[in-house]
Structure 1
Amino acid sequence: MGSKPILHRDDPSAEPLVGNIKVTRDDWLNVAMDVLVSDGVEQVKVLNLAEQMAVSRSSFYWYFKSRQDLLDALLSKWQATNTAGLIAQTELPAESITGAVCNLFHCVVDPALFDTALDFAVRDWARRSGTVRRMLDQSDTQRLNALTDMFLRYGYARVEAETRARVLYYMQIGYDLAQLYEPINQRLSFVRHYLFVFTGVHPREEEVEAFQSFARGFWEGRQR
């Protein structure tokens, strides 16, 4: 980690700085999230975070009662970002099951909907904490239930819906964990085939093209 402050000032709804206040609660959370993802929960320490932001650690206690209070806030933010984001995508309207899965695929592309690095950081954290393990298990169950409900809405029998939900969910976790870094065009060339494997239904060409256009536009925009 570098010595320069890591502040996220790009949110127009962020808390304003008033008087002698140099950082906000969101700043502490954002830097703590960065450290959690890059270095693990053991390095999420008040002094470490204060040094990252070049502020006194005493200001931490304006916003949090303790380090545990901060860790609880990180878990709440993870759930609000990843679990809630994934479930929301499964509930979006679509004319077909393949269109619904394309909606879900947006989570793979946009970290604002689902932050993969954060999810892996929490999974690593769960290996060291029974409390976090229980929260992760609950979150995984909620996500799988949402995916199962998505398949059920398109007429799948329950056992098939549950099976396809698991195949889709666990395949994506494994895919991300493998960190293949394959070229974008190569990855997108498999979209229609993935959709068929996951659903048993051939996707409409316009669904495939719409998702490919979204993904290319997003990735190209991030490279500018």
Structure 2
Amino acid sequence: MSKVSSILHRDDPDKPPLGGHVKVTREDWLNVARDILISEGVGQVKVLGIAERLDVSRSSFYWYFKSRKDLLNQLLDDWDKTNTGIMVRHTEIPAETITGALNNFFRCVVDPEGFNHQLDFAVREWARRDGSVRRVIDRADTVRHAAIAKMFERHGYEANEADIRARVLYYQQLGYYALDLAETVEERLTRVAGYLYCFSGVPPLDEEVAEFTEFTRKVTAG
């Protein structure tokens, strides 16, 4: 769970102070709720528990949210905008080759500030208990898959082949994290050229592999 700073600022400085000695924002509530969702599951995402972690009064929660359900809805919306949004944007980054485009896609999953696979699986676990969340997950998967397929199509693949390659790429990526493999970054990097070839059917350029390797080492250092 991330540590919440004891010196925070409210979204609207014109509103009166919140209760307690810590002033928090809507994002602070969502950040702690997200941490709890990932580490303990949706059942433990409770107003009182979040307030205690933020060291503020429970009543301050209603400054930003109508109810716990409203908090969960906003948390789910935030997940969709970030995880789905960032993946779609990476498929749309211009690239001269399909292997270059694949490298752009992989950037969002190797960057710790990019696609949050732990959050994705927490939401999927939540969906097992809530049909409405399951429907949101299904829509997100459809949007992600379509974006990846379009990426292949832009590089000359027929629609049917683009669809299959997109499925293989997307399902493999989710499966990789589901298996929780204990590979080091360097181990993964030794397979970059092979992955790019298998996903595209095209040998990658040496400079593409080198550029992605440099990017990955930089964002995962430390």
State the TM-score bracket (shorter-chain normalisation).
over 0.9
Evaluate the alpha carbon distance shift between residue 28 and residue 152 of structure 1 in structure 2; reply closer, same or farther with a 3 A threshold.
Answer: same
Query: Could you list the runs of 4 or more consecutive aligned residues of structure 1 that deviate by over 2 angstroms after TM superposition?
Result: 8-11, 13-21
Give how far 1:181 is off: 2.1
Q: Which runs of 5+ in 2 are unaligned?
A: none
Confirm or deny that 1:15 pairs with 2:11: yes
Deviation of 1:24 after TM superposition, in Å, equals 1.3
1:161 aligns with 2:157: no
Q: Partner of 2:175 in structure 1?
A: 174
Residue 88 of structure 1 deviates from its aligned partner by: 0.2
Partner of 1:42: 43
Equivalent residue letter for 2:125: D
Distance verdict in 2 for CA 1:99–1:9, change over 3 Å: farther
Aligned to 1:126: 127
1:122-168 CA distances to partner (integer Å, 9 max, x unpaired)? 00001000000000000000000000000000111111100000000
Deviations 1:167-220 (A, max 9, x none): 000001000111112111111000000000000000001111101100001111
Structure 1, gaps ≥5 residues long:
none
Residue 173 of structure 1: SS of its match in structure 2?
helix
CA root-mean-square deviation: 2.0
Distance 1:179 1:8 in 2: 30
Q: 1:89 to 1:9 in 2, by over 3 A?
A: farther
Decide whether the 8 Å contact of 2:112 with 2:219 is kept in 1.
no
| Pairwise CA distance, 1:111 | 3.5
Alignment of 1:32-181 (within 5 A): 32-181=33-182
Equivalent-residue separation in structure 2 for 1:95 and 1:194 (angstroms): 18
User: What's the TM-score once normalised by structure 2's chain length?
Assistant: 0.92
1:6 counterpart residue number: 3
Deviations 1:71-119 (A, max 9, x none): 0110111011110100000000001000000000011112432111110
Cα distance between partner residues in 1 of 2:106 and 2:11: 32
Q: Percent identity?
A: 53
How far, CA to CA, are the matches of 2:46 and 2:59 in structure 1? 13
- The 1:56–1:136 alpha-carbon spacing in structure 2 relative to 1, beyond 3 Å, is same
